[in-house]
Amino acid sequence: MRAEASIAHVDLDAMFAAVEQRDKVSLRGRPVIVGAVAGRGVVATASYEARAYGARSAMPTAEARRRCPPGTAFLAPRFAAYRKTSEVVMALLAQVSPLVEQVSIDEAYLDLAAAGRHDLSVPGVTGLAEQIRKTIAAATGGVTASVGVGTSKLVAKIGSDLHKPDGLTICAPGQERALLDPLPVTRLPGVGPATAERLRRSGLHTVADLARVGLPDLIDWFGQAHGAGLFRLARADDGRPIVGEREAKSVSAEETFDVDLTDRARLNNELDLLATRVGERLRAGGLSARTITIKVRHHDFTTITRSATRAQPTDDPRLVAQFARRLLAEVDTSVGIRLLGVGATTLADFVQEDLFGASIDDDPVTPPAATTPAVAPAPAEPASMVWRPGQDLRHDHHGAGWVWGSGHGRVTVRFEGPATPPGPVRTFAVDDPALHQADPPDWPGPAGHALSQQQVLR
C-alpha cells in the first residue's frame, strides 16, 4: 500500500445501457437490457431501472424478461458506440495521469502520483475526483462514472463500487480496514459463491470475520495460493502496481458464476461476452494478439487452460470468440464450470489480418486437404435484411433512427437521437431500399470536450 491515497479507479455506471439511454431519448428512465436478445442468450448489462426488478449481468435473457415489466427495452449490443464513448473517457483520464491501466472498455486505474502535479491530500484528491466525474458526464453526453480513491488497487476498486451510480469514495491512508471490515466477504476479489459458502459454514460473513482467521487455516481450506491471497486481501494488503496498457503482456477477462454451469450453449454465450471484452481492450490499447487462451475452473477449484496461436495477430472479438469456442469444445463441462476466462497474449502493436477478413476456419493448424473440390457457398442474405433491436440506421426520407423491433419480413424503426425529442415510430419491409445501416449518432456536448482539456486536468 502507498502512504497517500493516490490510486483511483474509475468505473462507468452500467455503461452499455447508459449509452443506449443517451442515444435513444425515449429510453431514458426506463428499464434497458443489453445482451443476446434471442434464444439462450445472457444479459451483458442491465440499466439501474432494470436492476430494480432483479435483472443483472450474466443472467439468462429469458430470466430477465420474466423479471422486468412490459416496456423494458431488450437491445443487441452496439460495440462501435461503446468504443466511441470509451475512447473519449480514456483520453480524458490520460490527461489526468500519464499512467493509466485500462481494465476493460468501461473501467481504468489511474496513478495520481505519476502526474507529479496533483495535490494528494484527502481534500485534494476529493476535488480532483469530483472534477473527473463532472467532466466525464459532460464529455459523454451524460454517461456517469463512479470513482474510488485509496492507497491500493483493492481499496480503490471496492470504493468505486460502494456508492453507485455516480458515486465517490475516498479512503484516507490508515482507514483501509475501517472501510473493508464491515463489508461482506463477497466484496473481495476471488471470493465467489463456493468460497463464500465455505466461509459461511465457518461463521465468517464479513471481511473483519475473515481477517481473524490465521494463515494456516486459510491455506488448509483453500490451498496455498488462494488461501494466502485471501489472508492478504482481508488485511487490505495489496501492493499491486498500476501497469500501463503498453506494458501489459496479456489482456484477459473472466467471470465467476453464481451457479456452476454445464450447458455448452450458455457457456458459449459467456465466452462470446468475455471475448468481446478482450477484443475491446485490445483495440482500446492499439494492440493485437496471436495467442488466445481460455481458463476453466471446475466446482472443486481444479483449473485448466487451453491455448491456440494464429498465424497473424488480431484484435477482432469475433475471431477471439471463435478460437475460445473451439478450445472449450476440448473441455469436459459435465462436472460443472464455476469460472470461465478468455485471455490474449503474444501481443503486438499492429493488426495484420488476412485479406478479405479471414476467420478461424481460414487459419487452421494444418493445411487443408487439396483433394476435396471447392463448393460455392450459398448467396448470403443481404445485410439490410437482418435488423437487430437497437441497431442504428438511416432512412432516405425520415433520417436517423434505431430498430425498435423486427420479424415476419418487417422492421419497426423509431426516428430519434440523443439530441431530439422522443420520435415517431414507422414500420417498413426489411428490404426497403430506403433503409441503410448507419454509424452510431454523435451525442450533444462539444462544450464538454473543450472543458475536458482546459479544466479537469490542471
Concerning whether 245 is annotated as a catalytic residue, the answer is: no
Cα 344 off chain centre by: 15
**How far is 340 from 432, CA to CA, in rounded Å?**
42
Q: Give the three-state DSSP class for 90.
A: helix
According to DSSP, the β-strands at 7-12 and 145-150 are antiparallel
Residue with cell 489480418: 353
Contact criterion met (CB below 8 Å) for 333 and 267: yes
Catalytic residue chosen out of the listed positions 107, 255, 280, 416: 107
Residue with cell 484477459: 252
**Rounded-to-10 torsion of CA 345, 346, 348, 352:** -100
According to DSSP, the β-strands at 337-348 and 303-314 are unpaired
**How far is 232 from 395, CA to CA, in rounded Å?**
58
342-366 burial, b at 16+ Cβ within 10 Å, e below that, comes to bbbbebbeebeeeeeebebeebeee
According to DSSP, the β-strands at 288-298 and 337-348 are antiparallel
Contact criterion met (CB below 8 Å) for 319 and 327: no
For residue 147, with 0-12 CB atoms within 10 Å meaning exposed, 13-18 middle and 19 or more buried, which class applies? buried
Contact criterion met (CB below 8 Å) for 273 and 57: no
- Peptide bond preceding 377: is omega within 30 degrees of 0, i.e. cis? no
In single-letter form, the type of residue at position 421 comes to P
How is residue 330 written as a grid cell? 476440448
Q: Give the three-state DSSP class for 141.
A: coil
The half-sphere exposure of 339 on its side-chain side, counting CA atoms within 13 A, is 19
Task: Give Cα separations from 409 to 105, 376, 393 (angstroms).
Answer: 35, 27, 17
Contact criterion met (CB below 8 Å) for 255 and 270: yes
Residue with cell 476529493: 126
**How far is 144 from 245, CA to CA, in rounded Å?**
23
Which among 41, 34, 26 has a CA at the least distance from the CA of 71? Answer: 26
Query: Phi/psi at 37 (nearest 5 deg)?
Result: -90, -10
DSSP tag of 26: G
Query: Which sequence positions are flagged as catalytic?
Result: 107
